[in-house]
Amino acid sequence: MTLLEVLQAAAGHLSKKGIENPRLNAEHLLAHALGKTKRLDLYLDFDRPMGENAKAPFRELIRRRSEGVPLQHLLGTVEFFGRTFACDARALIPRPETEQLVEFILRRAQEATSFLDVGTGSGILAITFALEKTAARVEACDISPEALALAGENIRRHSLDGRLQPRLTSLLTGIPGRFNVIAANLPYIPTGEIPGLSREVGHDPRTALDGGPDGLDLIRELAVQAVHVLEPGGLLALETGIDQATTTATWLALQNYRDITIERDYQGVQRFVFARHG
């Protein structure tokens, strides 16, 4: 069988198993199995026969993907803000929505010189801020040692180990200094909804998903703590779940935040909440 025939068969199998974008998934996995750095490199070799030795690892990847193992975990990497990051089951898989969060923050805080990423996970927000704002002080924290280990790998991957040292903390406990921007993509899934999540999301750590009974426990707690860590007029930037933005904005108003705004994601969902304090 040629590469194209193998690819078509794999895409058909993934489609039957209910995998979204089966052809794209199959292309990524075939390129990975063949050691190609770019998926599009396959197009130059579609007529080449694929030997049995090469088929075996590809079959295993397709089997695992058809069982719901996320594509990013199988590839071991994820693209975020134009950069490549290590990705595995130790932390939440970055979503496209979170790239929007970065865009909104950079637009609203062009003069900021200090950033704090709370619940950093794989480190993507902190690393992106550090690379986009080369003169800024950037800190990151998380409650999960496993996530921080992954963040450390990504920090070294992007040659920031001399500048960014993530901290093991519960939200802002023990965080020194004050910041112009505090950004957080905290767990916001209501506990009762977790059993009904997709197979792929089920591979994310529960600690990165579970936001308590209504999904907002950690967001409310962070808003209270952030008052003491933000610079005067500093920006708190939050990613929230479906139907949570308005409730979050109301809570922020009760904590005497001002300039509270809500932004929608690419799907039109009210996803991001921004506020200033002091």
The pLDDT tens digits for 215-272 are: 999 999 999 999 999 999 999 999 999 999 999 999 999 999 999 999 999 999 999 9
Looking at 67, 91, 115, the residue that finishes a domain is: 67
Q: Is 243 found in the same domain as 112?
A: yes
Domain span at residue 86 reads 77-277
Instruction: Output the average pLDDT for the chain.
Output: 95
- pLDDT band at residue 29 using 50, 70 and 90 as cut-offs: very high
Q: Is 139 found in the same domain as 101?
A: yes
Look at residues 13, 5, 11 and name the one whose alpha carbon lies nearest to residue 47: 5
Looking at 67, 95, 115, the residue that finishes a domain is: 67
Output the pLDDT for position 41: 82
Output the pLDDT for position 51: 79
Q: Is 117 found in the same domain as 15?
A: no
Residue 246, domain member (yes or no) = yes
Strand-pairing partners, residue 237, are 183, 274
Measure the CA–CA gap between 72 and 88, rounded to whole angstroms: 7
Burial class from Cβ neighbours inside 10 Å (0-12, 13-18, 19+) for residue 263 reads middle
- pLDDT band at residue 53 using 50, 70 and 90 as cut-offs: confident
Q: Which of 16-30, 33-47, 139-153, 205-219 has the lowest mean pLDDT?
A: 33-47
Q: Is 152 found in the same domain as 28?
A: no
Residue 12, domain member (yes or no) = yes
Q: Is 239 found in the same domain as 160?
A: yes
Q: Is 272 found in the same domain as 161?
A: yes
The three-state secondary structure class of 111 is coil
- pLDDT band at residue 76 using 50, 70 and 90 as cut-offs: very high
* Structure tokens that stand for 241 in this block: 């779940």
Output the pLDDT for position 235: 98
Looking at 25, 46, 67, the residue that finishes a domain is: 67
Output the pLDDT for position 233: 96
Q: Is 119 found in the same domain as 63?
A: no
Q: Which of 32-41, 75-84, 184-193 has the lowest mean pLDDT?
A: 32-41
Q: Is 189 found in the same domain as 89?
A: yes
Q: Is 239 found in the same domain as 104?
A: yes
Exposure letters 165-178 (e unless 16+ CB within 10 A, then b): ebeebebbeebeee
Q: Is 231 found in the same domain as 105?
A: yes
Residue 72, domain member (yes or no) = no
Measure the CA–CA gap between 132 and 123, rounded to whole angstroms: 14
Residue 247, domain member (yes or no) = yes
Residue 152, domain member (yes or no) = yes
Q: Is 33 found in the same domain as 148?
A: no
What is the pTM (predicted TM-score) of this model?
Answer: 0.93
Output the pLDDT for position 1: 85
Considering its fold, how many domains does the chain have in total? 2
Output the pLDDT for position 36: 85
Q: Which of 40-54, 67-81, 112-126, 264-278 has the lowest mean pLDDT?
A: 40-54
